[in-house]
Amino acid sequence: MKIHTIDLDFLGNSEAIAAFLVETSAGVVLVESGPYSTFQTLKNKIEALGFEIADIRHLFLSHIHFDHAGAAWALAANGAKVYVHPFGAGHLANPQKLTDSARKIYLDQMDILWGDMKNIDDSLIHATADEEVIKIGDAHFKSWHTPGHANHHIAWQLEDVVFAGDVAGVSIGGGPVVPPCPPPDIHIDKWKYSISLLKKINARALYLTHFGISPFSTEEHFSQLEGTLLEYADLIKTLMKEGKNISEMTTAFNAYVNMQFSKYQFDEKQEARYQAANPAFMSVTGLMRYWSKEAGDLLTQ
């Protein structure tokens, strides 16, 4: 089966956000839509491959964050059926709450970063059960519910490859595997469960939305991911115990990330790609929320 990685050139960065076009015996399908701000780029690149947006009758989403699902409504408006986790289905039908809370975080940057998110008709939304298999011609997409990054996360297995969304982390241009930890769902134990599940699938290739096929073996990939996830979580827990405020925590967190990146010879472009795909300040907020809400009792230990 032919899989095309489409670079959405998010904010002018190459290799920050991907969508994947899969050629099946029943036509092309898309995995991830990217945000609506890059919809025109998606359209142009699909056309450059010899297809039209309207050819896409099926869209598989890893989860409903804007960078993965923001343009889903525009594909649905062209007739695509959208496969999503049951916890995300209602938000696609009515994205008001999602856009309101994002606007509080991104303020006037909202439109530049993500663009519109509009309602999708219920008849075009398929809430996908765990381990459900969706057959499109000769392509069998298996849904694995994989919480940790988001409660509404699915990793899509297609034969021996997995489209891993964000639950398998971010690795760009041969750089390290890092976990994106935005609010509100980050949960370390759930994420560890998902990592062990994905390790068992032992995919031949992991397709990361940020960005492309992981250059590492499955074992190396997930060992980096889990190691860094636990380090990030511990760092924020320690800073919270020390009573640091959010700006002190963000400074300390950025210093930690920079130290980690300094082992790799990153140029400015490479750093910008990581920041665009996975802004550090979001991880500070996400992990603070995890420790204070989900695991508040652990802080006193």
Residues that bind Zn ion (CB under 5 A): 67, 166
Map residue 136 onto helix, strand or coil.
strand
Q: How far is the CB of 301 from Zn ion (least distance, A)?
A: 31
- Closer to Zn ion by Cβ: residue 161 or 164: 164
Distances from the Cα of 195 to the Cα of 10, 45, 179, 262, angstroms: 27, 32, 11, 26
- Closer to Zn ion by Cβ: residue 166 or 226: 166
Question: Tokens 């381990």 identify what position?
Answer: 131
Q: How far is the CB of 105 from Zn ion (least distance, A)?
A: 14
Q: How far is the CB of 52 from Zn ion (least distance, A)?
A: 26
- Closer to Zn ion by Cβ: residue 136 or 164: 164
- Closer to Zn ion by Cβ: residue 166 or 185: 166
DSSP sequence for 11-27? GG-TTS-EEEEEEETTE
Instruction: Catalogue the E-assigned strands of 121-209.
Output: 125-127, 133-136, 139-145, 154-158, 161-163, 205-208
Q: How far is the CB of 277 from Zn ion (least distance, A)?
A: 7
CB-count burial class (<10 Å; 0-12, 13-18, 19+) for 97:
exposed
- Closer to Zn ion by Cβ: residue 15 or 166: 166
Q: How far is the CB of 149 from Zn ion (least distance, A)?
A: 8
Q: How far is the CB of 170 from Zn ion (least distance, A)?
A: 8
- Closer to Zn ion by Cβ: residue 7 or 67: 67
Dihedral (C-alpha) 67, 71, 75, 77: value to the nearest 10 degrees? 150
Q: How far is the CB of 245 from Zn ion (least distance, A)?
A: 27
Instruction: List all residues 6 or more positions away from 294 whose beta carbon is below 8 Å from its beta carbon.
Output: 186, 187
Residues forming a β-bridge with 162: 157, 206
Distances from the Cα of 200 to the Cα of 66, 68, 162, 196, 218, angstroms: 29, 25, 12, 6, 10
Q: How far is the CB of 67 from Zn ion (least distance, A)?
A: 4
Contact 168, 206 (CB under 8 A): yes
- Closer to Zn ion by Cβ: residue 239 or 277: 277
Structure tokens at 101: 């809370």
Give the span between the Cα atoms of 136 and 13, in whole angstroms: 32
Give the span between the Cα atoms of 172 and 215, in whole angstroms: 9
- Closer to Zn ion by Cβ: residue 51 or 106: 106
